[in-house]
Amino acid sequence: MTCISFLFSRRGKYARNHGFDVEDEVSGIHDVKLYTYKEIRIATEEFSPANKIGEGGFGSVYKGRLKDGKLAAIKVLSAESKQGVKEFLTEIDVISKIEHENLVKLYGCCVEGNHRILVYNYLENNSLAQTLLGGGHNNSNIQFDWRTRFRICIGVARGLAFLHEEVRPYIVHRDIKASNILLDKDLTPKISDFGLAKLIPSNMTHVSTRVAGTIGYLAPEYAIRGQLTRKADIYSFGVLLVEIVSGRCNTNTRLPVEEQYLLERTWELYERRELVGLVDTALNGDFDAEEACRFMKVGLLCTQDAPKLRPSMSTVVKMLTGEIEVYDSKITKPGLITDFMDLKVRGPQKTTKPQTKYNDMMSSYNLPSASDKLDSSTLTSESSAAATVTTFTSPYDQSIETKEFSV
């Protein structure tokens, strides 16, 4: 209550600077603890570089110890973040009402002055990006045997099904990827980073919006046309599913040309009936071949070029657990990254109506700096008065560096 009073005592100047009433924004938030900036500074030892455990498009993440003794992952949004205070508080309100075994838990936040900080539970085993895909498990005690991967795939599917089908209004995550799947001490997967999540009214079939996501995981209709539906998340999950089974990133330019793009390789092997050859060699043959191939077929179903052909996440869960049969006749060619990497994307132009339909979604694309590590291929799109033409020409290397943790 003290923190809330402190927040409200500053609302006059704060509201004038940001164009809305802070009190109105937080008055409906009851389930989130509000931390003072002083508490956050103490928890992170003044944001010590030694406690920094990750950095992404929205800011830095620090490991901290709260005054009650709990370890926390503290996400400090950068001043340059495109996410405004109002959106930040909306995110808090949404997350505070959501609880699921396979979703990261929000402890609270800090919204003093211009500071916008999220406080999550700390997960001991980091992300799939650094461990399974980054080779981190080779230097740790984590054993990604087949049963562990089986549980991780189903856990992520259940978490996403919850967001898509049980939360009202439902949530499209928009950035499902390995670095946003965190693992607790028991290797239970937790979907993180709801900073990109949007609430979609149930009566809308899709929404065209600013594209935010990661090349390699982006559904073609979202990357090119800005068409955002739950089917875009399902595409991303399909890519992730194949990554977990194969133990490799979706894009790796260090491999021979014919093997650089995982989804393309998966389709080629599927057509040759050689899917089992894609299973991670680190398993040393100790896996259920039928299950592994079924998982990759589900991945192909999820990544089909036509969104309407992709199954719902609840159906995906049943396919993964064997409750629903996976039929080869239902699998069509996936939408491949190589199909749009060289595509020229034009911004809105006055002379043609079809392009003006997409005014808000793609006039220019900006890639962040290399400091974004695994997410160096994150794609954002902002409308601009001066339309530009951008060509995807270079491959996107998803190689992993150390110290990757994202919430």
pLDDT for 235-254, tens place per residue? 999 999 999 999 999 988 88
Q: What CATH number does the domain containing 134 carry?
A: 1.10.510.10
Domain final residue pick, 322, 343, 364: 343
Omega before residue 395 within 30° of 0, cis: no
Helix (H, G, I), strand (E, B) or coil at 351: coil
Q: pLDDT at residue 341 above 70?
A: no
Q: pLDDT at residue 283 above 80?
A: yes
Q: pLDDT at residue 356 above 80?
A: no
Q: pLDDT at residue 111 above 70?
A: yes
Of 274, 252, 280, the closest CA to residue 149 belongs to: 280
Q: Do residues 233 and 160 make contact, with C-beta atoms less than 8 angstroms apart? A: yes
Q: Is residue 59 part of a domain?
A: yes
Place of tokens 């045997």: 145
Q: What is the pLDDT of residue 173?
A: 87
What is the rounded radius of gyration, in angstroms, for the C-alpha atoms of the chain? 21
Same domain, 96 and 132: no
Segment holding 262, helix H or strand E: helix 262-271
More confident residue, 395 or 254: 254
Average pLDDT over residues 21-37: 67
Q: What is the pLDDT of residue 210?
A: 54
Least confident window among 21-35, 122-136, 377-391: 377-391
Q: Is residue 212 part of a domain?
A: yes
Which amino acid makes up residue 70? K
Q: What is the pLDDT of residue 4?
A: 41
Domain final residue pick, 315, 343, 371: 343
Average pLDDT over residues 119-142: 80
Same domain, 57 and 190: no
Q: Is residue 392 part of a domain?
A: no
Average pLDDT over residues 341-345: 49
Average pLDDT over residues 218-237: 89
Q: Is residue 113 part of a domain?
A: yes
Please name the residues in contact with 395: beta carbons below 8 A apart, sequence gap of 6 or more: 251, 253, 260, 341
Q: Report pTM.
A: 0.75
Q: Is residue 12 part of a domain?
A: no
Give the pLDDT band (50/70/90) at residue 48.
very high
Same domain, 54 and 82: yes
Q: Is residue 403 part of a domain?
A: no
Percent pLDDT > 70 in the chain is 64
Distance CA 181, CA 160 (A): 11
Average pLDDT over residues 340-365: 39
Q: What is the pLDDT of residue 192?
A: 86
Percent pLDDT > 90 in the chain is 43
Q: Is residue 16 part of a domain?
A: no
Give the pLDDT band (50/70/90) at residue 86.
low
Q: What is the pLDDT of residue 255?
A: 85
Same domain, 170 and 275: yes
- Catalytic residue list: 175
Same domain, 107 and 161: no
Q: Do residues 218 and 201 make contact, with C-beta atoms less than 8 angstroms apart? A: no
Q: What is the pLDDT of residue 205?
A: 52
Counted domains in the chain: 2
Helix (H, G, I), strand (E, B) or coil at 304: strand
Same domain, 202 and 255: yes
Same domain, 54 and 138: no
Q: What CATH number does the domain containing 90 carry?
A: 3.30.200.20
> How far are the Cα atoms of 116, 304, 313, 328 from residue 310, in angstroms, in the given order?
37, 6, 9, 13
Give the pLDDT band (50/70/90) at residue 390.
very low
Q: pLDDT at residue 231 above 70?
A: yes
Q: pLDDT at residue 280 above 90?
A: yes
Strand partners, 405: none
Same domain, 161 and 115: no
Q: What is the pLDDT of residue 134?
A: 77
Distance CA 107, CA 116 (A): 14
Handedness of CA 119, 87, 125, 140 (dihedral sign): negative
Q: What is the pLDDT of residue 387?
A: 27
Q: pLDDT at residue 383 above 50?
A: no
Q: What is the pLDDT of residue 107?
A: 86
Q: Do residues 108 and 35 make contact, with C-beta atoms less than 8 angstroms apart? A: yes
Domain final residue pick, 326, 343, 360: 343
Same domain, 246 and 338: yes
Residues of the domain holding 262: 126-343
Same domain, 111 and 134: no
Q: pLDDT at residue 6 above 70?
A: no
Same domain, 81 and 64: yes
Same domain, 330 and 202: yes
Q: Is residue 154 part of a domain?
A: yes
Annotated ligand binding at 333? The verdict is no
Give the pLDDT band (50/70/90) at residue 20.
very low
DSSP string spanning 195-237? GG-EE--TT-S-EE---EEETTTS-HHHHHH-EESHHHHHHHH
Q: pLDDT at residue 80 above 50?
A: yes
Average pLDDT over residues 100-105: 93
